[in-house]
Structure 1
Amino acid sequence: MRETLAGTGMLIRLGLRRDRWLLPVWVLGFAVVTYSTAAAGAELYPDQRSRVAAANALNATASIVAMFGRIYDPASLGALSLIKYTAFMTAILAVLMVVLIIRHTRADEESGRLELLSGGRLGRDAPLAAALSIGLATSLGVGLLSGAGLAAGGLAGAGSLAFGLGWTATGMAFCAVGGVAAQLTASARAATGLGVGIVAVTYGLRAVGDLSEPGPSLLSWLSPIGWNQQIRAFAGDHWWVLALPVALCILLIPTAFTLRARRDLGAGLRDERPGPAVGSLTGVWALAVRLQFRVWLAWAVSFVVFGVVVGSLVANVAEMLSSPNAQDLIKLLGGASALRDAFLAAEISIMGLLAAAYGVAAANHLRGEEAAGHTEALLGTATTRSRWASSHYAFALAGVAALMALTGVSIGVGAALAVQDTGLIGRAALASLAQIPAAWVLTSVALAVFGWVPRLAGSVWGVLLAFVALGEFGVLWNAPGWLMELSPFRHSPLLPVSLDAVPALLALIAVAAALAALGYLGWRRRDLAA
């Protein structure tokens, strides 16, 4: 056993060095969000009457229950304030853990890094052990700091600890899921798709189970995300539920090591299907579409489903936000006078941030192809540097635009069906399209970083997270105006959109073009990087 784990400590140090910026941003990001939410909750719902009214309205809205779950103690400030975090943010944490484990296992195998390291004294199980150690430690850090943030924000200490440990246990469980997924397929992309698909299935089981009356049903108890909800932090604190994700983790980790012992390095237990005998790609543009279209399609389906659900909530906005402070805040965030428009504007702006995340991921595909050695092979043909980079960059821009177009139509349709106002389709679509230039700015930032310092491609996610924090909590933090103005999303018009917004949109497009030109300049001047 000792021989199979030889070199684990070295790989842990290497992994922590590689992620020395990424992991702290993740951990601190979750802690800051929970602290801000806890601190703002008392202002939004200052008395028990407002809390009970808001909680009852949320529990009575099927789409809200499906997305975020139930509030099991309507009088609890913590249970109401953290409604979005027990399920939705838990799913995000689960995805991050899956991606982290696969990044340090299957992705390193695919790139040849582990084969190179195996030339020294490296045990067969060391990469998986190191990845799981990093993932489990990250989950512990997220949970403990988030719990401390809740307590610092004014919520009860016992509930804060229960909530934080729930995130820790769930993160650990999905680290184990990622470890198993990494053994089943022969590529990092397939393993990531499998792991994220498991997260989606568990989220869906929880959603269906929570819709049962009085809820939850058996389906919720089949979902690790549902387990996190049933801890019921700030609503009874069911500590014993923490044993379920811990038990799943204990079961899956030995399974992952057993599966690892049954396959060769670089292979998977599930063979990939061979491609067609005769290729049909006509150039780098078709190749970029082939590589990225399936991922975009998954994003598109999610945007449409989410858009219809969000749009259908407009009929319940007045009930959900019965507190005057809550209404004032949503109007401030949305920037419109009408509460319904403000709600739709705020949701559309969130979708704009998500579209920017897709743009960054799609543009960072340039770095992934370069690191894998595929770019060097392509540039050995008649393909020019600019043409190859443009294929992925253009797909990223087009993908962002298409996602926001789908968002506008789906939100508009959902809202129109809810309040019988077909005019909302056009207004929501126009507001969604107005978010495109800001997302293009982030996409172009990714291209600029790739052009000059490709090893810092991951830092663009930190920039996006900073903009998200400013947009969501800048008002609550009393951030200075100049800092708020740095975010391109600050300059995106919201409902209602008028001709006065055209200069700001043109300015954002000009900034995106300038950043893209800067990126192309750096890409043409620098050498290929491994």
Structure 2
Amino acid sequence: MTAQVVQAGAPTVPSSPSALTGTGFLLRFMLRRDRVRLMVPTVALLVFCVYYVTATASLYPTAADRLNRAASISNAGGVLLSGPGYGLDNYTPGAMFANEMALWIMVFLAMTNIFQITRNTRAEEETGRAELVRSLPVGRHAATVAAWLVVVIVDAVFGVLSGALITAVGGLAAVDTFVLAAGMVLTALVFAAVAAVTCQLTVHGRGASGMAFAVVGAAALIRGLGDIQRPHGSWLSWLSPIAWTQQLRPYFEVRLWPLGLSVAAIVVLLAVAALLAGRRDLGEGLLRERVGRADAAPSLAKPFRFAFRQLRTALLCWMAGCVVMFGLCGAFLGENVGKIANSLASQNALTGRIFAGDPLGAFLRIFILHCALAVAGFSVAAVLRVKGEEEEGRLGLELSRPASRTNLLMSRVAVVMLGMLVLLVVGGGVTLWAGSLLSHGQIGLGELAGCAATFAPGIAVLIAFAAACYAWFPRATPLAWVLFAVVIFESFFGRLMELPDAVRALSPFWWVGNYPVTPVEPSHMVGLCVAAAALVALAVAGFRRRDLVTG
């Protein structure tokens, strides 16, 4: 009886939750918290897909027009930047979409998925919020599974809507369109599974996403090199998940079995991620971090040197990416670049206007424009990193030293400005010139470097605007990305849609002009520099006046 009484009065020990306990709760929370982050890129990509199929149908209405377009990408550079080239002999609007846009849609979806996975898993562990959540009855793998289900839901919605809209608006074959949409979604989910693995390796969210982005870049490069080696792909191409979707051959002779490769890769990668997650402690990574100095170098007491140290790794990674990407793009600028530019100029009335007067100069500017947009995106993100430093309390520690707010903010802006200039001129102009030498190109170094340098004042305005938004109203920093989106839209579609100059003038890149097609307008360059300087001064004034966020 005594034993029974003691047993009855003993406290009840709660059973430990299963590995997936709380997954549904976390899924609902992530969907609600990130609804805007998920909806905006998805809707934007859907609009772009619909616009592309309708625009190409109007630009290339006849088979002869489309064959002329196919001839302009039937070279090593075109294969590298598009696809293996199925259906070029009978270039339909569907084949055009599959060859020229599927690669970039897959890359965009993959990057979005990587950001979402790292944000909801590794970043939560890095900030300590995951530990608070795990103090509740939440399983070990609940956060990872919930993050994975978020990207599955969003990608599935995109796949269904894109297939339906492209079929309805563009009049493309329904079966081929939905097969292509399924392939793009599965490829993006492969890279989401890669991110789930990299999140187990490092303790930092940026490191995990950086490794996953490197895999995306390697996959795109391997696919391109493999397709260049042999028409319609070689064995090297099949090492890339991107090639698995392109080898579906939509709008040519569609086949389904490559989808199984993506499904198998997802299953294997998720199993590896689960295995690795079971072998590490919460908040830790499996890769050992490099042991640093016992004390900081004296030079890091200077705000400029400290800001450079924070951005050094990102700058080196972006420089490596620019060298690889634009070095290979230099193949477009070989000895036949003049013929390619003239061919593009003769495709239709619109391309005739775009390339009028100087087809070669307009062709060079398109390459530099892509580099400038990439560098602009990096620069805006680099400036806004200071917001995260403030929210996590590290910026306040910096200001506890004898360093003024003006010096601190100006140092960060200066490092980003200098990094932008190096990436733009060296990673873009010089690298394109070096790549053209490999294919016996005759383009001058000064012409490419000068064209790249003309974009620097426009990017400086974007950097200064982002700094001003952060300095005065940190919650307004998304406006910097809105302006960046305006720049992208105007650069690609401003002339195509014949927007009025009053609207196009909202983009700093519009003021840059069309060098080397037309001479640089000195007053525009000076105006952009003055606008950037005024925005920086405004940012300093705002940063000195407002209180810092303490948590």
* Shared fold (TM-score, shorter chain, > 0.5): yes
* Contact 2:20–2:142, Cα closer than 8 Å, also in 1: yes
- 2:239 is aligned to 222
In 2, the alpha carbon distance for the partners of 1:261 and 1:210 equals 39
* Alignment counterpart, residue 420 of structure 2, candidates 393, 400, 423: 400
- 2:120 is aligned to 104
Aligned-partner SS, 1:337: coil
Distance 1:492 1:250, change over 3 A: same
* Contact 1:25–1:462, Cα closer than 8 Å, also in 2: no
Distance 1:311 1:207, change over 3 A: closer
TM-fit CA distance, 1:332: 4.0
Deviations 1:194-233 (A, max 9, x none): 1112112222221222122234122211211111211222
1:243 aligns with 2:253: no
TM-fit CA distance, 1:319: 4.1
- 1:67 is aligned to 81
* Contact 1:183–1:269, Cα closer than 8 Å, also in 2: yes
In 1, the alpha carbon distance for the partners of 2:407 and 2:325 equals 35
1:443 aligns with 2:459: no
TM-fit CA distance, 1:45: 2.8
TM-fit CA distance, 1:49: 3.0
439-448 or 471-480, which deviates more: 471-480
Alignment of 1:43-54 (within 5 A): 43-54=58-69
- 1:302 is aligned to 321
Runs (5+) with no aligned partner, structure 1 = none
In 1, the alpha carbon distance for the partners of 2:236 and 2:497 equals 39
Deviations 1:28-54 (A, max 9, x none): 222122222211222333322333343
Distance 1:154 1:339, change over 3 A: farther
1:136 aligns with 2:155: no
- 1:15 is aligned to 30
* Contact 2:106–2:242, Cα closer than 8 Å, also in 1: yes
Deviations 1:164-200 (A, max 9, x none): 2122111111111111110111111221221112112
- 1:232 is aligned to 249
TM-fit CA distance, 1:490: 1.1
Distance 1:308 1:333, change over 3 A: farther
Distance 1:298 1:204, change over 3 A: same
- 2:46 is aligned to 31
* Contact 2:79–2:224, Cα closer than 8 Å, also in 1: yes
- 1:489 is aligned to 509
1:148 aligns with 2:164: yes
Deviations 1:392-439 (A, max 9, x none): 2211111111112112223344457757545x3212221211111111
- 1:318 is aligned to 339
- Tell me the amino acid that sits aligned with residue 429 of structure 2: G
- 1:87 is aligned to 103
Distance 1:499 1:467, change over 3 A: closer
In 2, the alpha carbon distance for the partners of 1:176 and 1:420 equals 41
Aligned-partner SS, 2:494: helix
* Alignment counterpart, residue 472 of structure 1, candidates 476, 482, 492: 492
Distance 1:500 1:49, change over 3 A: closer
372-381 or 114-123, which deviates more: 114-123
* Contact 1:58–1:320, Cα closer than 8 Å, also in 2: no
In 1, the alpha carbon distance for the partners of 2:113 and 2:170 equals 26
* Contact 2:311–2:382, Cα closer than 8 Å, also in 1: yes
Deviations 1:2-34 (A, max 9, x none): 633333333333333443322222112221222
In 2, the alpha carbon distance for the partners of 1:470 and 1:513 equals 23
- Tell me the amino acid that sits aligned with residue 278 of structure 2: A
- 1:121 is aligned to 137
In 2, the alpha carbon distance for the partners of 1:160 and 1:362 equals 38
- Tell me the amino acid that sits aligned with residue 189 of structure 1: R
* Alignment counterpart, residue 403 of structure 2, candidates 366, 383, 398: 383
* Contact 1:309–1:414, Cα closer than 8 Å, also in 2: yes
TM-fit CA distance, 1:70: 1.8
Query: Please, what TM-score do these two structures have when normalized by structure 1?
Result: 0.92
In 2, the alpha carbon distance for the partners of 1:350 and 1:448 equals 25
TM-fit CA distance, 1:238: 1.9
Deviations 1:445-468 (A, max 9, x none): 221221123244345334312321
In 2, the alpha carbon distance for the partners of 1:290 and 1:376 equals 18
In 2, the alpha carbon distance for the partners of 1:138 and 1:228 equals 19
- 2:216 is aligned to 199
* Contact 2:21–2:142, Cα closer than 8 Å, also in 1: yes
Alignment of 1:230-309 (within 5 A): 230-282=247-299, 283=301, 284-309=303-328
Alignment of 1:172-191 (within 5 A): 172-191=189-208
- Tell me the amino acid that sits aligned with residue 168 of structure 1: V
- 1:3 is aligned to 18
In 2, the alpha carbon distance for the partners of 1:109 and 1:217 equals 41
Alignment of 1:347-426 (within 5 A): 347-406=367-426, 407-415=428-436, 421=442, 424-426=444-446
Aligned sequence identity (%): 32
Over aligned residue pairs, what C-alpha RMSD do you find? 2.5
In 2, the alpha carbon distance for the partners of 1:211 and 1:500 equals 37
* Contact 2:460–2:532, Cα closer than 8 Å, also in 1: yes
In 1, the alpha carbon distance for the partners of 2:108 and 2:72 equals 25
Distance 1:191 1:54, change over 3 A: same
Quick check: which has more Rg, 1 or 2? 2
* Contact 1:186–1:271, Cα closer than 8 Å, also in 2: no
Aligned-partner SS, 2:410: helix
TM-fit CA distance, 1:359: 0.7
In 2, the alpha carbon distance for the partners of 1:142 and 1:313 equals 33
Distance 1:203 1:116, change over 3 A: same
Distance 1:363 1:325, change over 3 A: same
In 2, the alpha carbon distance for the partners of 1:309 and 1:51 equals 26
* Contact 1:139–1:167, Cα closer than 8 Å, also in 2: no
* Contact 1:288–1:391, Cα closer than 8 Å, also in 2: yes
Alignment of 1:492-511 (within 5 A): 492-496=512-516, 501-511=521-531
* Contact 1:76–1:234, Cα closer than 8 Å, also in 2: no
- 1:329 is aligned to 350
In 2, the alpha carbon distance for the partners of 1:281 and 1:54 equals 59
In 1, the alpha carbon distance for the partners of 2:338 and 2:54 equals 23
> How many equivalent pairs are there?
527
* Contact 1:311–1:413, Cα closer than 8 Å, also in 2: yes
108-117 or 450-459, which deviates more: 450-459
Query: Please, what TM-score do these two structures have when normalized by structure 2?
Result: 0.88
469-478 or 439-448, which deviates more: 469-478
- 1:41 is aligned to 56
TM-fit CA distance, 1:388: 2.0
Runs (5+) with no aligned partner, structure 2 = 1-15
Aligned-partner SS, 2:310: helix
